[in-house]
């Protein structure tokens, strides 16, 4: 029998997709401006003046990493509620948390004002950002993929994925705009706070999602199934009581109480979670080296000493390129499958890593932009189809939890320490070994995707 909850009509689907894009873009904007500030401002603003420059930079990147440590925790917390009470309400909560945490960073006093409390509060707010991102991605991704028709799931899923490069574009524009309007000293003193304060718009967007979007068809189908199952169990229980027999409810009560969606996902889909995480490692390592480490490398390398506007503009241009790659790869995956295009991205990205830094070392704006843009294209071959791939790996009742766990575990393994590891490799052995690091991550991702089965076209409404 056909499901009473069909996929959304085209007009409604466009509104859902654009709302998901807006939400993920602003959410990632908030997450990324922290990374840029960690490279440009936070070492001086939130750590002692007598701390060596390299040590303070690594310490700032350490607070950056805290956000990644929080992401799988956020994935578990929000995943639990997303599979229990619905995708929409959980997404709204994640958006609100991010808006509040980022705005508070914008008004946080510096080390000079409140001493050691400054980096401690900064770390706490970064942790809150990580919790929010851990919950936001699963909600936005499922909002589009569970509403989309099966033959366009990759394409619509790419709207949620495009939030990352769009957020990066917004973050770069914000810092470039502020930098153009104030002096260097004003930027260090207070100008960097403006992008953080702008994130208050997330609170308004969360209200729009709550008031104007509906729950996904797949979750409605799950609710319908659970209501029918509960009604059947109630009839069985009444029959058992009439005949003085043990009830199914009594027999299974203990098991149900300890089975959260997160635990069910871990016990029923452990292989999918681990392989999903492995598939994400190369994306995360490459991305955060491109948008965080490269800024520090270009501005602090004695041989380059490039202005930050130079690198931020190159990253800005490459982010537009990545958006096109995301959608192109996602559309291809709808027609030809998810795995092939994903594996191509891993192989090509691992090879390109060895051309990336020699081109950056030329100091030429053109070649730096080309180097980062091509790396973003290869990364987009993986990131574009990823929302559909991860959604199709899991059953409806644990999909929010399972997809979030896989995604965020990959994020912490790949992205959390990438700027710190890259910085340490650069200073200890040379920048060539940063390329080796990217290539090694690409090999892990390739192996993970090879071990996955093709998911394209699966019915997400099967309960």
Within a domain: 254: no
CB 404 within 8 A of CB 173: no
How many Cα atoms sit within 13 Å of 168 on the Cβ side? 23
Q: Annotate 114-125 with b (16+ C-beta within 10 A) or e (fewer).
A: eeeebbebbbeb
Q: What is the pLDDT of residue 188?
A: 83
Other Cβ atoms within 10 Å of 106 Cβ, number? 18
Is there a domain that residue 4 lies in? no
284 found inside a domain: yes
Question: What b/e sequence results for 26-58 when a residue is b if at least 16 CB atoms lie within 10 Å of its CB, and e otherwise?
Answer: bbbbbbbbbbbbbbbbbbbbbbeeeeeeeebbb
| Total structural domains within the chain | 1
d(CA 378, CA 329) in angstroms, rounded, equals 10
Task: Give me 349's structure tokens.
Answer: 């990205």
Residue pair 454/334 in contact by the 8 Å Cβ criterion:
no
Residue 427 CB coordination number (10 Å): 11
CA distances from 450 to 60, 347, 443, 453 (A): 36, 12, 11, 8
Q: Are 206 and 99 in contact (CB under 8 A)?
A: yes
In a domain, residue 453? The reply is: no
pLDDT of the residue at 351:
97
Share of the chain above pLDDT 90, in %: 31
CA distance 32 to 109: 20
CATH code for the domain of 292: 1.20.1250.20
CA 392 to CA 401: how far, in whole Å?
13
CA distance 459 to 463: 10
CB 195 within 8 A of CB 181: no
CB 146 within 8 A of CB 88: no
Do the beta carbons of residue 226 and residue 44 sit within 8 Å?
A: no
The residues, any chain, with a CB within 8 Å of residue 456's CB and separated by 6 or more, are 154, 333, 334, 337, 338, 388, 392
Stated as kind and residue range, the H or E segment containing 458 is none
Instruction: State the Cα angle at 453 between 267 and 397, rounded to 5°.
Output: 40
Domain assignment present for residue 242? The answer is no
Q: Tokens representing 423?
A: 């910085």
Enter the DSSP assignment of 151: G
pLDDT profile of the chain (463 residues), mean per 10: 51 80 82 78 79 76 80 84 79 85 90 87 89 84 86 92 88 83 86 86 73 64 66 52 49 50 87 94 93 86 79 90 96 94 97 96 94 97 94 87 88 84 91 96 97 84 58
The answer to whether the CB of 40 falls within 8 A of the CB of 179 is no
As a whole number of angstroms, the distance between CA 439 and CA 170 comes to 29
Rounded Cα distance between 324 and 161, Å, is 11
Find the domain containing 212 and state its range.
10-218+259-448
Reported as half-sphere exposure (CB side, CA atoms, 13 A), residue 93 has a value of 19
Do the domain assignments include residue 2?
Answer: no
C-alpha 69/C-alpha 270 separation (Å) is 20
Residue 247 within any structural domain of the chain: no
Tell me how long the chain is: 463
* Per-residue model confidence as pLDDT tens digits over 360-376: 999 999 999 999 999 99
To the question of pTM greater than 0.85 for the whole model, the response is: no
What DSSP assignment string belongs to 249-299?
A: HHHHHHHHHH--HHHHHHHHSHHHHHHHHHHHHHHHHHHHIIIIIHHHHHH
């Amino acid at each position: 029998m056909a499901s009473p909850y069909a996929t959304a009509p085209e007009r409604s689907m466009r509104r859902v997709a654009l709302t998901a894009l807006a939400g993920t873009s602003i959410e990632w904007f908030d997450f990324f401006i922290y990374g840029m500030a960690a490279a440009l401002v936070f070492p001086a603003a939130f750590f002692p003046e007598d701390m060596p420059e390299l040590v303070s930079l690594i310490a700032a990147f350490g607070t950056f990493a805290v956000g990644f440590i929080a992401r799988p925790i956020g994935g578990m917390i929000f995943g639990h509620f997303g599979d229990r009470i619905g995708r929409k309400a959980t997404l709204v909560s994640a958006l609100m948390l991010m808006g509040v945490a980022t705005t508070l960073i914008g008004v946080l006093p510096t080390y000079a004002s409140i001493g050691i409390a400054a980096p401690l509060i900064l770390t706490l707010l970064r942790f809150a950002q990580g919790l929010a991102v851990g919950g936001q991605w699963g909600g936005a991704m499922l909002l589009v993929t569970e509403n989309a028709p099966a033959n366009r799931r990759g394409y619509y899923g790419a709207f949620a994925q495009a939030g990352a490069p769009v957020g990066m574009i917004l973050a770069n524009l914000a810092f470039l705009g502020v930098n153009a309007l104030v002096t260097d000293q004003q930027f260090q003193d207070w100008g960097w706070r403006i992008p953080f304060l702008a994130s208050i718009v997330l609170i308004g967007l969360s209200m729009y999602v709550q008031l104007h979007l509906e729950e996904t068809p797949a979750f409605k189908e799950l609710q319908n199934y659970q209501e029918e199952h509960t009604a059947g169990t109630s009839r069985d229980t009444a029959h058992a009581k009439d005949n003085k027999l043990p009830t199914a409810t009594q027999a299974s009560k203990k098991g149900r109480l300890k089975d959260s969606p997160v635990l069910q996902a871990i016990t029923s889909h452990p292989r999918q979670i681990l392989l999903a995480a492995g598939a994400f490692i190369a994306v995360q390592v490459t991305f955060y080296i491109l948008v965080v480490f490269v800024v520090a490398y270009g501005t602090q390398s004695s041989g380059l000493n490039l202005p930050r506007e130079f690198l931020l503009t190159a990253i800005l241009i490459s982010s537009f390129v990545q958006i096109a790659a995301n959608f192109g790869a996602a559309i291809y995956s709808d027609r030809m499958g998810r795995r092939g295009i994903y594996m191509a991205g891993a192989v090509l990205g691992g090879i390109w890593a060895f051309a990336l830094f020699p081109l950056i070392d030329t100091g030429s704006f053109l070649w730096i932009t080309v180097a980062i843009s091509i790396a973003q294209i290869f990364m987009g071959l993986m990131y574009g189809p990823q929302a559909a791939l991860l959604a199709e790996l899991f059953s409806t009742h644990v999909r929010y939890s399972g997809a979030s766990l896989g995604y965020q575990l990959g994020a912490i393994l790949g992205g959390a320490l990438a700027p710190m590891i890259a910085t340490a490799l650069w200073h200890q052995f040379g920048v060539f070994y940063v390329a080796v690091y990217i290539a090694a991550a690409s090999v892990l991702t390739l192996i993970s995707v090879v071990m996955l089965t093709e998911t394209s076209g699966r019915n997400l409404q099967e309960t």
